[in-house]
Amino acid sequence: MNVQRGNKGQVRQTANIEWDEIPKNPGQLPFVVLAEGLQGVGKTHFSMTFPEPIFILDTENRADVVAAKFAGNKKVYRKKITTFNDLRLTLVQRIFSEHEGGTIVIDSGSDLQTMAELEYLEEAKMEKIYPTYIWARVWEKIDNMLKIIRDRGFYCVITGRLRDEYTDDGKRTGDYVLEGYKKLPYRVDLHLRLLPDFTAEVYKNGFRNEPIDRVKVLERPSYSEIMDKLIMGNVPKVDDLEEVKPSKVKPAKTKNIDNKTPAKEVEKAVNASESELEAPGETILNQEGNHIQDEENPPQIASYETDSDLVATKEQVVEAYKYGLGLGLDNSTLKMLLFDIRGEDVADQDKISDGMTVSEIEIWKEGMRTIAEEYLGAKN
- Read off the pLDDT of residues 263-287 as tens digits, 9 standing for 90 and up: 434 334 333 333 333 334 444 344 4
Compare 366 and 294 and report the one with higher pLDDT.
Answer: 366
Question: Each residue of 87-97: pLDDT tens digit?
Answer: 999 999 999 99
Q: If you average pLDDT over residues 189-196, what whole number do you get? A: 96
Q: Beta-strand (E) ranges in the chain?
A: 2-5, 11-14, 32-37, 54-58, 76-80, 103-107, 155-166, 172-178, 190-194, 200-205, 216-218, 283-285
* CATH code of the domain occupying 29-235: 3.40.50
pLDDT in tens, 116-156: 999 999 999 999 998 888 999 999 999 999 999 998 999 99
Residue 333: what pLDDT? 74
- Compute the mean pLDDT over every residue in the chain, rounded to the nearest whole number: 77
Higher pLDDT, 172 or 132: 172
Model pTM greater than 0.75? no
Query: pLDDT for 300-327, tens place per residue?
Result: 434 434 455 688 898 888 899 889 888 8
Residue 167 has pLDDT above 70, yes or no: yes
Domain extents for the chain? 29-235, 245-308, 314-376
Between 367 and 277, name the one with better pLDDT: 367
What is d(CA 289, CA 10) in angstroms, rounded to the nearest whole number?
Answer: 9
Q: What is the largest CA-CA distance in the chain?
A: 83
CB 282 within 8 A of CB 299: yes
Question: pLDDT band at 3, cuts 50/70/90?
Answer: low
- Confidence band of 15 (pLDDT split at 50, 70, 90): low
Q: How many helices (H) and strands (E) does the chain have?
A: 9, 12
Calculate mean pLDDT across residues 318-341: 80
**Confidence category of residue 82, pLDDT binned at 50, 70, 90:** very high
Closest CA to 333 of 137, 128, 134: 134
